[in-house]
Structure formats: C-alpha cells, structure tokens
Amino acid sequence: GAGVSQTPSNKVTEKGKYVELRCDPISGHTALYWYRQSLGQGPEFLIYFQGTGAADDSGLPNDRFFAVRPEGSVSTLKIQRTERGDSAVYLCASGLAGGPDTQYFGPGTRLTVL
C-alpha cells in the first residue's frame, strides 16, 4: 500500500513569504506527527494530531507556525513570515492510535528560505 507522502519535496522561498507543506498519511492512520530536522540533528517534534485535533502542539517554535488536519487525514503545516532559520527538512509521520512505535515517516519536504 501507499506510504506517507509529502508535497512538495523541495520548496525554496524568500524571507518573509508564507509557505504550506502538505502531508498525506497512510490510510487509516489516525495519529499524525510533524517534525523538523536540521542538518546534523535528529528530528525535532513540532505537533501531534489524533484525528482532527492537535493533541500536542508544544513543539511549534512560535506563532508563525500552524498546522491543521480538518478531516482527520491530510495535514498542512503552515509557516508565516518565513525566516532563514526555518530552513530544514520537515518530516511527517503517521501511525495507529495508542503507540509511538507505529510511526512511519514520509520522505520529507526540504524548505530553503533565502
């Protein structure tokens, strides 16, 4: 079956612009996670959705970052007024409810802010 997909695979934008990153989880997975991975670092937790609601958004670095999952499937991570420090690979993972051991990662979106 299809795995987690993310679009776009690469996004180059200018400082101050708005970007949207999309994640399409594995069908039937109710848990969805967003991570950010900078060069030489491990994935850094951003936000977790259980169904449509954000169960934990404590990893979002500031109010420029926002994520939605309106129908409990596809999720969009939105970044306003992008800064050069936002440049990273944004990873999405999905899983079954009740256990982090079932997370499956998508290929990621590489965001470059010029």
Partner 1 sequence: QKEVEQNSGPLSVPEGAIASLNCTYSDRGSQSFFWYRQYSGKSPELIMSIYSNGDKEDGRFTAQLNKASQYVSLLIRDSQPSDSATYLCAVNTRGSGGYQKVTFGTGTKLQVIP
Residues that bind partner 1 (CB under 8 A): 33, 35, 40-45, 48, 50, 55-56, 58, 91, 99-101, 103-108
66 vs 104 by CB, closer to partner 1: 104
Q: Is 37 exposed, middle or buried (0-12, 13-18, 19+ CB in 10 A)?
A: middle
Q: Are 34 and 25 in contact (CB under 8 A)?
A: no
Comparison of 35 and 65: residue with beta carbon closer to partner 1: 35
The smaller minimum CB distance to partner 1, of residues 89 and 113, is found at: 89
